[in-house]
């Protein structure tokens, strides 16, 4: 009997785990739940006998993959797979997959939760601002970006997007104004919502020069990855422009400096919260289990992310 390890330092909702277990066991798979582990070394020990593994932001490092002698497939239940060592996976003949789109609506809803919180001065009793009529720039128009656009239109925002990999026709069809460059997006929009992955090219790419282009009352919303931000650049801009605000789903490394110097101009979630809804956990968790079963039963590698 093949064993699927669900290794989640930040657990799925119980409803998701139950449904994942039911699907896997009905198909003859054993499921081991390994949640809230304390150390990375615990994960290295836990993978030893697993044939497949489902993770969230857990780190599937080379050490983990090398220790998993039976492992054939790792599915990141979510979009970003920057936490999987793809080279190590390929070298060990392990298929790495993600579950694109499954948690996108949850992330998009959090964008607005955080935007309104900051626009209303953290609900501190003073007069804030409204988001209706403001310009929102979506940086990368993928699964999350599309949901953000849909919700933004409901709020009456003017929506712009930049994504060199998505055709302008798709954006126009969605009622979104495409722009020609990242610089144009930032200089046009008071609100920027980031949806780029963390790659060699994007890490630290959101820097002082780019953010300086944003109009007065600028708010940078980051539900992507903290690594894409050049933190020194953001701190420099926060010092220079009292109107600039930064809200992020997961605190930057320099969060203590924000707390010391920029009260009321930032908000950071204590844990990554974008995908933390029961619905998103169910969608991504079930997709992950089904992808594993399909991989073993039919060899389907549709969502493979390593070569
Ligand atoms: C993703 O890439 O899908 C999100 O960052 C969700 O991460 P999480 O599963 O750790 O909440």
3-state secondary structure 143-164: HHHHHHHHHHHHCCCEEEEECC
Quote the pLDDT of residue 290: 99
> How far away, in angstroms, is 57 Cα from ligand 1 center?
6
Question: Identical fold at 3-102+276-298 and 104-268?
Answer: yes
52-55, strands of its sheet edge to edge? 30-35, 3-8, 52-55, 73-76, 95-98
- % of the chain surpassing 90 pLDDT: 100
254-278 core/surface letters (b: 16 or more CB in 10 A; e: else): beebbeeebeebbbbbeebbbbbbe
- Ligand 1 centroid–CA 62 distance in Å is 20
Structure confidence at residue 102 as a pLDDT band (50, 70, 90) = very high
Is the CB of 228 inside a 6 Å radius of any atom of ligand 1? no
Mean pLDDT in residue range 62-76? 98
Which tens digit of pLDDT belongs to each residue from 151-192? 999 999 999 999 999 999 999 999 999 999 999 999 999 999
The domain 3-102+276-298 having CATH identifier 3.40.50.720: the answer here is: yes
Neighbour count for residue 138 (Cβ, 10 Å): 30
Query: Ligand 1: distance of its center to the CA of 108 in Å?
Result: 12
CA of 225 to the centre of ligand 1 (A): 9
Q: 213 C-alpha to center of ligand 1: Å?
A: 29
According to the model, what pLDDT value does residue 48 have?
A: 98
Sign of the C-alpha dihedral computed for residues 199, 244, 184 and 78 taken in this order: positive
CA 72, 78, 83: angle at the middle one, nearest 5?
A: 65
In this prediction, residues 48-70 reach a mean pLDDT of 98
Is pTM beyond 0.85? Reply is yes
pLDDT at residue 145, rounded to an integer = 98
Stated length of the chain: 307
Nearest CA to ligand 1 atom 3: 78
Does ligand 1 lie within 6 Å of residue 78's CB atom?
yes
Closest ligand 1 atom, residue 80 Cα: 2
Look at phi and psi of residue 12 and say left if phi exceeds 0, alpha if psi is from -120 to 50, else beta.
beta
Per-residue pLDDT reduced to its tens digit, 262-294: 999 999 999 999 999 999 999 999 999 999 999
CA of 101 to the centre of ligand 1 (A): 11
Domain ranges of the chain: 3-102+276-298, 104-268
pLDDT at 82: 98
Tokens of 253: 């490394």
Percent of the chain with pLDDT over 70: 100
Neighbours of 84 (CB within 10 A): 25
117-137: pLDDT as tens digits: 999 999 999 999 999 999 999
Distance 157 CA to ligand 1 centre (A): 26
Task: Indicate the pLDDT class of residue 202, thresholds 50, 70 and 90.
Answer: very high
**Protein residue with its CA nearest to atom 9 in ligand 1:** 56
CB of 272 closer than 6 angstroms to any ligand 1 atom: yes
Tell me the HSE value of 239 on the side-chain side, using a 13 A CA sphere: 9
Q: What is the CATH number of domain 104-268?
A: 3.40.50.720
Mean pLDDT of 85-108: 98
Ligand 1 atom closest to residue 272's alpha carbon, by position in its atom list:
11
| pLDDT at position 66 | 98
Ligand 1 contact, 305 CB (< 6 A): no
User: CB-based contacts of 276: which residues, under 8 Å, 6+ apart?
Assistant: 10, 106
């Amino acid at each position: 009997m093949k064993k699927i390890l669900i290794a989640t330092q930040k657990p799925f909702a119980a409803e998701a785990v139950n449904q994942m277990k039911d699907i896997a066991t009905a198909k003859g798979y054993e499921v081991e739940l390994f949640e809230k582990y304390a150390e990375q070394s615990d994960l290295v020990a836990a993978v030893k006998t697993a044939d497949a593994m489902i993770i969230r932001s857990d780190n599937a490092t080379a050490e983990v993959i090398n220790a998993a002698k039976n492992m054939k497939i790792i599915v990141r239940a979510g979009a970003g797979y920057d936490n999987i060592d793809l080279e190590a996976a390929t070298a060990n003949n392990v298929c790495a997959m993600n579950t694109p789109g499954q948690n996108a609506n949850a992330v998009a809803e959090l964008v607005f939760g955080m935007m309104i919180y900051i626009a209303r001065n953290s609900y501190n009793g003073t007069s804030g601002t409204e988001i209706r009529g403001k310009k929102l720039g979506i940086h990368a128009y993928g699964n999350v970006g599309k949901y953000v656009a849909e919700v933004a239109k409901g709020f009456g925002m003017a929506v712009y997007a930049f994504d060199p990999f998505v055709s302008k026709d798709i954006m126009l069809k969605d009622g979104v104004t495409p722009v020609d460059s990242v610089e144009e997006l930032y200089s046009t929009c008071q609100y920027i919502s980031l949806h780029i992955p963390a790659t060699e090219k994007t890490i630290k790419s959101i820097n002082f020069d780019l953010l300086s282009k944003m109009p007065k009352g600028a708010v940078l919303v980051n539900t992507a990855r903290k690594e894409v931000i050049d933190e020194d650049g953001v701190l420099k801009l926060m010092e220079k422009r009292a109107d600039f605000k930064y809200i992020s789903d997961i605190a930057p490394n320099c969060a203590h400096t924000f707390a010391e110097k920029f009260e009321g101009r930032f908000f950071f979630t204590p844990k990554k919260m974008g995908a933390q809804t029961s619905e998103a956990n169910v969608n991504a968790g079930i997709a992950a289990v089904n992808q594993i079963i399909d991989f073993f039963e039919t060899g389907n590698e549709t969502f493979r992310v390593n070569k």
